[in-house]
């Protein structure tokens, strides 16, 4: 257990973002995806014996930063939560020719707007894609964007969940079959990291994984080929057609509601 002091008194939380925050590939009991933000909300609610904690999740898969700013950020003034998490820009970084400096400037404008209406704002850095097929080529852009995010947090008094430093997600079991979204256990590790960033005393997000034999090179090649056919090629196809996985998808929890 961590030796953190639980100093925040939070009665409401709104999560903004894309598929990462919507919780893709972490099935919830209600038939919707859960994800790290839902799990974090549960941890925060458990700290309030009066059970009046309220939670909204405005995140929608596939959303670019400008869409999040236009659709989700203005809702914060309406619902007035104590805590907001903003994790955005990852889909922009994946776009060919994208500029992490420009994305970061637009991200900071959103942070400045949010800080006018919320006392506690937590942002997330991007994951380290070292050794990840295809996405490993973007590691330099992600690192540049992360450096901006940490500076933005310093300038604007934000808390940071540093996903880049989270070594637990380097294990294959932290990711679902599409290798782009977390598995349920991966979402749990991120929820614990975010909780620690907020000062909660929670279990260690870096707790060792149970032993598992390393797949053979031949098995890895077969898995990579299957992944490319089943997930990578359709993903590239959507990009070429200008389609998004979030087309016609609405936020799963647009208002602050009790847990």
Whether 208 is in a domain gets the answer yes
Whether 4 is in a domain gets the answer no
Rounded CA separation 118/174 (Å): 31
CATH number at residue 106: 3.40.50.1110
According to the model, what pLDDT value does residue 231 have? 66
Using pLDDT thresholds of 50, 70 and 90, give the confidence band for residue 247. Answer: low
Both tokens assigned to 179: 């290798």
| Residue 223, domain extent | 12-258
Q: Sign of the C-alpha dihedral, residues 70, 99, 172, 132? A: positive
Whether 245 is in a domain gets the answer yes
Answer yes or no: are the C-beta atoms of 200 and 13 closer than 8 Å: no
Rounded CA separation 127/121 (Å): 19
Answer whether residue 226 shows pLDDT above 80.
Answer: no
Whether 5 is in a domain gets the answer no
pLDDT digits (tens, 9 = 90+) for 175-205: 988 878 999 999 999 999 999 999 999 999 9
According to the model, what pLDDT value does residue 117 have? 95
Whether 197 is in a domain gets the answer yes
| Count of domains forming the chain | 1
Whether 145 is in a domain gets the answer yes
**Looking at 90-94, 212-216, 240-244, which range is the least confident one?**
240-244
Angle between helices 184-197 and 36-46 (to 10 degrees): 50
Q: What is the mean pLDDT of the chain?
A: 90
pLDDT digits (tens, 9 = 90+) for 78-128: 999 999 999 999 999 999 899 999 999 999 999 999 999 999 999 999 999
Alpha carbon 205 to its chain centroid, in Å, reads 15
Answer whether residue 158 shows pLDDT above 90.
Answer: yes
Once rounded to an integer, what is the mean pLDDT over residues 7-36? Answer: 92
Whether 249 is in a domain gets the answer yes
Whether 6 is in a domain gets the answer no
**Residue 46 CB contacts under 8 Å (≥ 6 apart), including other chains:** none
According to the model, what pLDDT value does residue 1 have? 34
pTM above 0.75, yes or no: yes
According to the model, what pLDDT value does residue 175 have? 93
């Amino acid at each position: 257990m961590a030796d953190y002091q639980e100093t925040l008194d939070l009665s409401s939380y709104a999560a903004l973002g894309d598929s990462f925050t919507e919780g893709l590939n972490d099935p919830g009991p209600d038939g919707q995806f859960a994800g790290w933000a839902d799990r974090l909300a549960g941890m925060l609610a458990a700290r309030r014996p009066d059970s009046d904690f309220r939670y909204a999740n405005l995140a929608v898969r596939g959303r670019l930063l400008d869409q999040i700013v236009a659709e989700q950020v203005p809702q914060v003034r309406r619902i007035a939560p104590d805590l907001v998490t903003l994790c955005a820009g990852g889909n922009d970084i994946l776009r060919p020719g994208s500029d992490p400096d420009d994305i970061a400037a637009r991200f900071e404008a959103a942070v400045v707007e949010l800080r006018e209406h919320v006392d506690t704002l937590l942002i997330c850095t991007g994951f380290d894609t070292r050794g990840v097929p295809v996405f490993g080529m973007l590691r330099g852009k992600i690192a540049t964007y992360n450096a901006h995010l940490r500076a933005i947090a310093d300038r604007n008094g934000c808390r940071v969940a540093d996903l880049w430093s989270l070594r637990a997600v380097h294990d294959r079991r932290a990711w679902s079959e599409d290798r782009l979204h977390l598995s349920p256990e991966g979402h749990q590790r991120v929820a614990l990291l975010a909780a620690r960033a907020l000062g909660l005393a929670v279990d260690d997000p870096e707790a060792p994984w149970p032993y598992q034999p390393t797949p053979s090179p031949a098995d890895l090649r077969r898995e990579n080929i299957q992944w490319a056919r089943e997930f990578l090629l359709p993903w590239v196809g959507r990009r070429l057609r200008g389609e998004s996985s979030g087309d016609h998808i609405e936020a799963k929890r647009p208002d602050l509601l009790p847990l």
